[in-house]
Structure 1
Amino acid sequence: MGLLRSILTLFLVVIVVLTGIFVGIQVGGAIYSSPPSLPQLDPNVYWGPGKYKEDDITIKPYQIAISKEDVKDLKMRLNLPLRLQPSVEGTAFTYGFNSGTLEKVIEYWRKEYDWEKRETHLNSYPHFKTEIEGLNIHFMRAKPIVESGKQIKVVPLLLIHGWPGSFVEFYDIIPKLIEPQEGSDVVFEVICPSIPGYGFSDAPAKKGVGTLEAGQIFLKLMNRLGFNQFYLQGGDWGSLIATDMATMYPDNILGVHLNMFQANTPGVNAKWFLGNFLPSGLFMDPKDEPKMYPMGKKLSFLAAESGYMHIQATKPDTIGAALDQSPVSLGVYILEKFSTWTHKDNTQKPDGGLLQEEFPIALDAMLDNICIYWFTGSITSSTRFYAENFNEKFFQGRELDIIPCNVPSGHAAFPEELMVQPKTFIAHKFYDIVTYTDMEVGGHFPAMERPLLLAADLHKFVSLVEKRKILDQSKEKLNEL
């Protein structure tokens, strides 16, 4: 009898605790009392080599011009005999890059890929550099094309890439952003910078440049270009930088649009855990539950796909040094991510989907991206960005994660993204969700995979925000009368 009473008591305690958490989540939106204050960043920090010196604020035109010697060196290294072990029968891409597929990719890179032509393509939009906080920051700028007399508003847009991407991600989507689109009242003036340590942006010489610090650099860049208010769009690291900027600088950010997004608050984590055991429909629409469950399967997939993250967050210079010795090594490391992150089922295909006609990204475009890493020698500094973000502060809990983002937000949920949260989850972080779109197709690189879908969703989001601004201004004028 005593044992039964203890069991019943324990059961009631669990029910009370779960009920309390549930009520706290549903009513308060989180299980903490009030968010902390915004972190303070040093506005005069210096990330360059040596001692502090004043920035040269000149904006200088820049052209991608890789020397003939560097191109010749790349071809020489590509032509070295491959040292490959035969893949285990039946493993496809589940063990990583299939050696037979790699032979075909390298053969194409050796004989058919033409860097000189691709370099001309990459210079089709103007490039610039300017010094910010001791670093030369590279950016690409695409101005809108609007016929005179058309009632189209031009708005500035900061477009931010991730890893293992670069500014190369955006060549297919930019035409759909700078030209008027049906049903949209806006066009964009696009500013696309390279994250510090990526591509043609200088690598920090000192520790400490994470997403927050990159956000401050990009705010200074936009202000220097004359944009005190602007929109943001990003995925991968670009999503985290954009979210931090929208949280930190609400007076400067008109709206933030993300194709990868996650709220990391106590309320969200409690919902995710409890939703695995409690009845369907308590925390989200049942149609959204496949985004998060079964939890074990989701966590297993993330564990299988995040090994790179652990080594880059702990020993970036080790993996960077290895990859920097051979374009084949660099290529296989990056291309494997394009395979799996584009569609989860690609691990079951012998070529990872990369060589199939229906693969949504052209091989030339992926090789362009790899060549940018190779010619700039930036793979090591790009992986250091993981070490700067996944440090002791991250594991102690990032205070910025539980500070609400109050600027208008738009979210494009692509089904093959590594992790997609439902609207009820991200509402714990984003307090003014204007659009949340469940896309029919697409993965982690939508600007390359599905540029039409991503551009259309961005146009829809910004058009709605701009219309709302006009309505709010009209209401203010009426109130003044």
Structure 2
Amino acid sequence: MPRPTGDVEAFEAHASDADLDDLRARLAAARLPEAETVHGSAPGRRRWEQGVPLADLVDVVDYWRTGYDWRSFEERINRIGQFRTTIDDLGIHFLHRRSPRADATPLILTHGWPGSVAEFTDVVEELADPEDAGAPAFHVVVPSLPGFGYSDKPATTGWGTEKIAAAWVELMGRLGYAKFLAHGGDWGGVITTVLAGRFPAHVLGIHSTLAQAPPGLTTDGLTAVEREWTEETRDFWLHRAAYAKQQATRPQTIGYSLVDSPVGLLAWILDKFAEWSDTEDSPFERISRDRILDDVTLYWLTGTGASAARIYYESHNSLDPGLRVDVPSAISMYPRDIEKCPRPWARERYRRIVRWRSPEAGGHFPSLEVPGHFVTDLREGLVAVLAADR
């Protein structure tokens, strides 16, 4: 394995006791609104029509203040291995777990919003050092997007998906990985697409839970299910994407609330875990409170509510219509994700789809909702990609 190059430094996460005490004090002093006017409805999605129900929020806030253990999350990410490096004058944080296997392939996993490296902490070890000796192994790199987590907050505009993809190539090169695989969902899926389209000499292939077709395609020839996907996606962007409009146009305005109020931050993020997960009433049907609070607390302690929101200002609807991906691609469309692309449409951009799957369960956060299936699906997809690349 080539030696890392460039300025890569070890990093450890450790919040001060004062910061954790301040968080608990703010939670105890939170001023909450009255209950939603649909609060009398039966369990189900209708309970969430006006946003996070008061009773649910109160329960999570109480657990966050009295039961949640941030130190446990710190220990997990420190055990994986954390590092920072500076690319284009911006500090980039990343997890890096080298596999002990000689046949391992480098793999970069890119998160989205409202996610973070917390999305992947429970799957890194199994990807790097699988219990099954016959399973493929990977040298796993999980960077924090600029403005997220322990990466620096850009002080100027320009850190959109194209620049981030270029930074990921530089990052992987510094670690000794001239060629690598890439996976992503949400913004990570867009960045993975840009990586594959712009840097095919470095990207062996990709796996993505997001496929974005070029604009202007018709529904002619699509199956009934595929037409339903397009209708659901259109409905989402028309009626349920106010958060994206807000963050794309006025990230600074919402940012004051996200950085000043832990309850405001929790509600803003919990709303998305609830709506975008494959559940009937609550995100906690599939994802534990601890895992969601790992993510929310990381945003809180790093003060990144505003800086993370700015990725929408930088890149919302900015994917180059002419960008094409010619490296082998494996794509999985989870049934309760917010944006599902028909395969005929996806083929117009991803021109070497070697594996296509529509899992039976899972939503926007499959590594947290269905981690066992996610790992299996990712492995099988990347095996197909590598076989096609030979």
> TM class, shorter-chain normalised?
over 0.9
Unaligned runs of 5+ in 2: none
C-alpha separation between the residues in 1 aligned to 2:181 and 2:233? 32
1:373 correspondence with 2:299: yes
What do the CA deviations read for 1:147-186 (whole angstroms, capped 9, x no partner)? xxxxx72100010000000000001222331123659652
Q: Which amino acid aligns with 1:466?
A: L
- The residue number in structure 1 matching 2:169 is 219
Give the drift of 1:93: 0.5
Give the drift of 1:404: 1.8
1:433 correspondence with 2:353: yes
What do the CA deviations read for 1:411-462 (whole angstroms, capped 9, x no partner)? 0110001011121110000110010011000000011111222211221122
Alignment of 1:272-421 (within 5 A): 272=219, 275=220, 283-292=221-230, 295=231, 298-343=233-278, 346=280, 349=281, 353-355=282-284, 359-390=285-316, 394=318, 398=319, 400-421=320-341
Residues 429 and 92 of structure 1: is their aligned pair in 2 closer, same or farther, counting only changes over 3 Å? Answer: same
Give the drift of 1:362: 1.1
CA contact (8 A) 2:205 2:389 kept: no
C-alpha separation between the residues in 2 aligned to 1:58 and 1:116? 28
Alignment of 1:94-105 (within 5 A): 94-105=49-60
C-alpha separation between the residues in 2 aligned to 1:428 and 1:178? 33
Bigger drift between 78-87 and 62-71 goes to 78-87
Q: Which amino acid aligns with 1:131?
A: T
Residues 81 and 370 of structure 1: is their aligned pair in 2 closer, same or farther, counting only changes over 3 Å? Answer: closer
Give the drift of 1:401: 2.7
1:66 correspondence with 2:15: yes
Alignment of 1:13-52 (within 5 A): none
CA contact (8 A) 2:206 2:385 kept: no
Q: 2:185 aligns with which of 215, 230, 235?
A: 235
Give the drift of 1:219: 0.8
Secondary structure of the corresponding residue to residue 355 of structure 2? strand
Unaligned runs of 5+ in 1: 1-55, 147-151, 276-282, 471-481
Give the drift of 1:263: 0.9
Give the drift of 1:379: 0.9
Give the drift of 1:124: 2.2
- The alignment yields a C-alpha RMSD, in angstroms, of 1.9
Tell me which stretches of 4 or more aligned residues in structure 1 moved more than 4 Å: 181-185
> TM-score, length-normalised on structure 1?
0.75
C-alpha separation between the residues in 2 aligned to 1:298 and 1:207? 29
What do the CA deviations read for 1:307-338 (whole angstroms, capped 9, x no partner)? 00001000101100112111111011101100
CA contact (8 A) 1:142 1:189 kept: yes
- The residue number in structure 2 matching 1:47 is none
C-alpha separation between the residues in 1 aligned to 2:377 and 2:32? 45
CA contact (8 A) 1:136 1:202 kept: yes
What do the CA deviations read for 1:99-157 (whole angstroms, capped 9, x no partner)? 111111111111111222332233221100011100110000112244xxxxx721000
Q: Which amino acid aligns with 2:370?
A: R
CA contact (8 A) 1:185 1:463 kept: no
CA contact (8 A) 1:166 1:369 kept: yes
Give the drift of 1:298: 4.5
CA contact (8 A) 2:123 2:375 kept: yes
| Aligned residue-pair number | 380
CA contact (8 A) 1:129 1:138 kept: yes
CA contact (8 A) 2:84 2:94 kept: yes
Residues 185 and 113 of structure 1: is their aligned pair in 2 closer, same or farther, counting only changes over 3 Å? Answer: closer
> TM-score, length-normalised on structure 2?
0.92
CA contact (8 A) 1:184 1:460 kept: no
CA contact (8 A) 2:334 2:359 kept: yes
C-alpha separation between the residues in 2 aligned to 1:200 and 1:128? 10
Secondary structure of the corresponding residue to residue 298 of structure 2? helix
- The residue number in structure 1 matching 2:32 is 83
CA contact (8 A) 1:184 1:463 kept: no
C-alpha separation between the residues in 2 aligned to 1:113 and 1:328? 15
Q: Which amino acid aligns with 2:302?
A: T
Q: Which amino acid aligns with 1:87?
A: E
Q: Which amino acid aligns with 1:137?
A: I
1:171 correspondence with 2:118: no
Secondary structure of the corresponding residue to residue 137 of structure 2? strand
Give the drift of 1:286: 4.2
C-alpha separation between the residues in 2 aligned to 1:108 and 1:160? 29
Give the drift of 1:203: 1.1
- The residue number in structure 1 matching 2:154 is 204
1:142 correspondence with 2:92: no
Q: 2:209 aligns with which of 259, 280, 294?
A: 259
C-alpha separation between the residues in 1 aligned to 2:362 and 2:138? 23
Secondary structure of the corresponding residue to residue 73 of structure 2? helix
Give the drift of 1:95: 0.6
Give the drift of 1:208: 1.2
C-alpha separation between the residues in 2 aligned to 1:381 and 1:246? 26
**Percent of matched pairs sharing the same residue:** 32
C-alpha separation between the residues in 1 aligned to 2:23 and 2:167? 32
Bigger drift between 224-233 and 85-94 goes to 85-94
Q: Which amino acid aligns with 2:65?
A: R
Q: Which amino acid aligns with 2:58?
A: E
C-alpha separation between the residues in 2 aligned to 1:135 and 1:196? 8
